[in-house]
A and B are shown apart, each in its own frame.
Chain A
Amino acid sequence: MSMAIQCENLTKRFGPRVAVNNLSIEIPKGSIYGFLGPNGSGKSTTIRMLCGLLVPTSGTGTVLGFDVMTQSEEIKQRIGYMSQKFSLYEDLTVEENLDFYAGIYGIDGPHRKKRKEELIAMAGLTGRETQLAGSLSGGWKQRLALSCALLHEPELLILDEPTAGVDPVSRRIFWDVIHDLAKKGITILVTTHYMDEAQTCDWIGFIFFGNLLAQGTPQDLIRQLEVQNLEDVFVTLVQQEEQRLAAIQPGTKGAAQ
């Protein structure tokens, strides 16, 4: 199986602090990979290294066959990225935002018109084309951001907590879109705190204090740890790791509460 993302011993240090420690993951093409972990565990840092926003301190990695160290511009042309925070222009309308990113990705003429129509329909934004992005509610904003990230038909979609703070209905719609995209062969790397979302991923990676603690399908992880559901997997892993750390350095408490 060919891999969309492949990285080995990827490490990122900010001064003395290790944000991501020797991370090795492989994400097969066309799959949905859920990245789980408490806040501040290194999820966003990993994602930013894969997108070419941050330079890894050490280790190697390829995204769609391009080296994250040296070919970040090639990667940027081929991936769609959505950050935690809404990062489109709030003072531009829905259509102006789409037009802007279409221009940035060099999509012009009838092709642009077609893509815009498809994406507005997909995101359910029909009728809101002339509304300012800033006046959209959370769920609409996320879908607009997703539309902008998909304009250039990327092979890989990287989503950093796309559904944080979004209502359940919008979350459901959003994930339906994600599953549709995966069926079309797009690889998706997504971080989330919602276990119901994680449950529907093909693969799960669990990161804590910059270390990848476990990796596998949701069913495998539940079976391995002999627990009932993914939430238990999450809690068990955090507790195990904190005990391990406490054993090494007595008095040190984890920051996962």
Chain B
Amino acid sequence: MKRFSLSRYLSIVRKEIIQIKRDRPSLGIALIMPIMLLFLFGYAVNTDVDHIRTAVWDQSKSQQSRELISSFVHTEYFDAAVYAESYHELEAMIDNGTVDAAIIIPPDYAHRLDNHEQADVQLFINGSDPNIARTASANAMLTLQNKAIRMQETRMEKEGMGKLEQPIELQSRVLFNPNMESIVFNIPGLIGLIMQNVTMILTAFSLVREKERGTMEQLIVTPIRPLELMLGKITPYVFIGFISFTIVLTLGIFWFGVPLKGSFLLLLTLSILFLISTLTLGIFFSTIAKTQLQAMQLAFAFILPSVLLSGFMFPRDTMPVVIQWIGGLVPLTYFLEILRGIFLKGVDATALWQDITGMVVFFSLILTVAILRFRKKME
């Protein structure tokens, strides 16, 4: 009587499968929405700053000034988008967002260079997005320095002093993502984020729907146990989520060209653990909410913290410890480490044991809380 009954569990599974099959639109959403979201965000979430729209006010109008502009453009960080003729014009363009940077070359630029005097070039940057501002100023600085060194070199060669030797040079090597493309970093995270939110909503509705339709009343006068009911409801969605995950993963690898360094199989295995956790989280919301609308609101309220605290947007290491703990309440936090670890670093399960344990603990906790919250009673 108190034991887990396989017959009751399987009855729930069978019933859910029939209901899912009859509810084609919902099934369609579960399978197609992740793909659509991946395409949408895969292109939108791009933290690479390049081709900054730049206004140029070239007062020198000389060969030297044109060379300077083209060396800026060559970096691909700057696009000489517009030419301006006054400070007033430049400021107006930065104000209304036409450009994010402006280069001002003074009238005496060529003249001063010819006379071996120091020439000044001015750069305006829209600092409201610090990310753009940092990239723009760092690259402008680098471009100018390189240019200055080259000029110095030619000058010294002309004077017969030989090649300029730099005393120190940095030899850096970027591991895992050598081109530092943000897409390689973002797509795996995006896959996790999308799968968490889509699957969570699937089960968030399931118990509440039964409450709303009145079928719950009949169900709770039977000997069904909460664990049987919840696992039975989750099981079919694990399969749907798994199919969806596999599709999205394949798209990430082949369409977005994110190389998978580690084991595909390990990633799929751990994705099942992740899906079970997010689906149970949805069930937990279902035990709190009284209507489908409330369930939806709870699920949405969860999305923002999972974007901001899981490490999807910002690195967790720099967050205050308390915030890091709160981030531990989001299953995506663990799965992000797993996804990025396997995708980018190609690590195996031993390197991920902390996150795997974290996810198992999270799943067990949330399932326990959901079972305790679910009373076979009416309110």
Interface of A toward B, CB cutoff 8 Å = 48, 51-55, 72-74, 76-77, 79, 81, 83, 85-92, 96, 99-106, 108, 145, 148
Our count of residue pairs bridging A and B at CB distance below 8 angstroms stands at 85
Q: Shortest CB–CB separation between residue A147 and chain B, in angstroms?
A: 13
Give the segment of B99-107, B134-142, B212-220, B350-358 that binds chain A. B212-220
Interchain Cβ contacts under 8 Å between A and B, 23 examples: A48-B378, A51-B221, A52-B376, A53-B378, A55-B377, A73-B376, A74-B1, A77-B1, A77-B223, A79-B221, A81-B221, A87-B215, A88-B218, A90-B213, A91-B19, A96-B18, A103-B8, A104-B11, A104-B223, A106-B5, A106-B7, A106-B8, A108-B7
B129 an interface residue at 8 Å Cβ cutoff? no
In the complex the two chains form, is A103's CB within 8 Å of B378's CB? no
Q: Which of B10, B23, B221 has the most CB of A within 10 A?
A: B221
Residues 1-18 of B contacting A (Cβ, < 8 Å): 1-2, 5, 7-8, 10-12, 14-15, 18
Range class of the B interface residue count: 20 to 34
A87's contact among B19, B214, B224, B377, by CB below 8 Å, is which? Answer: B214
Residues 176-229 of B contacting A (Cβ, < 8 Å): 213-224
Tell me the bound Cα distance from A87 to B220 in angstroms: 11
A92's contact among B1, B5, B19, B218, by CB below 8 Å, is which? Answer: B19
B22 an interface residue at 8 Å Cβ cutoff? yes
Tell me the bound Cα distance from A88 to B376 in angstroms: 17
- Which partner residue on chain A sits nearest B225 by CB separation? A73
Tell me the bound Cα distance from A51 to B213 in angstroms: 20
Q: Shortest CB–CB separation between residue A13 and chain B, in angstroms?
A: 14
In the complex the two chains form, is A88's CB within 8 Å of B215's CB? yes
In the complex the two chains form, is A53's CB within 8 Å of B217's CB? yes
- Which partner residue on chain A sits nearest B15 by CB separation? A100
Q: Which of B18, B23, B220, B222 has the most CB of A within 10 A?
A: B222
**A-B contacts besides A79-B221, A104-B219, A106-B5, 16 pairs, CB < 8 Å:** A52-B376, A52-B377, A53-B221, A73-B1, A76-B222, A77-B1, A83-B217, A83-B218, A87-B215, A89-B15, A91-B23, A96-B18, A104-B11, A105-B222, A106-B8, A148-B218
